[in-house]
Structure 1
Amino acid sequence: DTAWGRAKLGPPADVWALGATLYEMLTGRVPFEVATHEELVAAALALNYDLRPDILSVSARQLIDSMLQVLPSDRASVSELCDDLWTLADGRMPPEADSVLLECDACTRDTQPAMGKRARTKRVVLLVVYAVFVCCALLVGASATQDH
């Protein structure tokens, strides 16, 4: 959003950044492998990235694609991310991989589907990365305000 001059940032910008981060975490590559800022903007606007069907599951590709949409109104919301099939999918995790279940504000323990450790870990990773981006945005905003 900042690349094409949107001054007001918020959760949709965080979702996009989280989508790019999730892509890199799952594939080991950045979604837009370009040399210049101009090429990055053009690739992002064209949604020109490889969804890596050789690596990513269909549900992971759909989630990432919903996060990297150009228009903020077309992007998944934070609550949609929490309810996404990939985020909720159950799977096996090593017994030593304990995780803490973080609940979305719209969810309650009574309405949440049963989840395994892998799904909880995915949810925790998504929410922690989102929280880091929000904190960084707040710090940058506070710093910019003090500079002016």
Structure 2
Amino acid sequence: MPVIRPELSWTHYRLLLKVERPEVRKFYLDECIAANWSTRQLERQINSFYYERLLASRNKNPVRSEIKKLEPGPTPYDIIKDPYVLEFLGLEKHERHLEKDIEQALIDKLQHFLLELGKGFSFVARQQRITLDGDHFYH
């Protein structure tokens, strides 16, 4: 296996390890990085024998452009959108929430959950203070 690349996640590497032939694995690794494939795209290309189809094709451009049609790459919106689904907190629908409101709702849900578990469970602290060079940070 080549050197670990920061562009790829652990899931990318798990998928790549399933490819038996080293030259094919390297091809998928290079293509994945160059095209910024998601793990879903990588898995689809491996399962659809993209490497073999590309080798067998006389005109490689339609084969290469196929993935863009099936599953377009990430847009800037996909990269910066809020990945959290917090509907279970029961917060009112707003465009934005303050961090303290989300934290409070999470702690309330956690407290309710721990109380349902019964004896023997406890909650120690909300945030831990970390002091560096006289500055206080809460984690």
TM bin (shorter chain)? under 0.3
TM-score (norm 1): 0.23
| Structure with the larger RCO, 1 or 2 (CA within 8 Å, 6+ apart) | 1
